[in-house]
Amino acid sequence: MSQWNQVQQLEIKFLEQVDQFYDDNFPMEIRHLLAQWIEHQDWEVASNNETMATILLQNLLIQLDDQLGRVSKEKNLLLIHNLKRIRKVLQACPKITVKCHSGHLQTNIRIHSLRTSSGTWPQVHS
């Protein structure tokens, strides 16, 4: 089961805290739509390597375009609008985008492991 699926199964009070660390630099729509793909990329290495960051971002944009094509067929106007907006944000700040993905995935791992091992929820600071 993906990290994202595990996070979604948490109690609502914990999901509200998860919501706090998603923003325009790392939109929840992207995390949701591309969960499996995102979790199989090496964001940490890319965050410290300009060439890898560029390649990873280009691959992310390809994945996003695939999703955009899919939702365009479904005529989901709101999601189409959001995906186009997100694409512009991702293109504008590639290094920030890669660092955000890396940081958010590490936070997801830490939160889930702390939650399952101790039964408590760590404080999340954006």
Q: Please state the three-class secondary structure of the chain as a single string.
A: CCHHHHHHCCCHHHHHHHHCCCECCECHHHHHHCHHHHHCCCHHHHCCCHHHHHHHHHHHHHHHHHHHHHHHHHCCHHHHHHHHHHHHHHHHCHHHHHHHHHHHHHHHHHHHHHHHHHCCCCCCCC
pTM above 0.85, yes or no: no
Query: Which pLDDT score is estimated for 123?
Result: 47
3-92 fold: Transcription Factor, Stat-4 (1.10.532)
Instruction: State the pLDDT at residue 117.
Output: 55
pLDDT value at residue 110: 56
Ranges in the chain, pLDDT < 50:
118, 121-126
The reported pLDDT for the residue numbered 126 is: 43
Position 63 scores a pLDDT of: 93
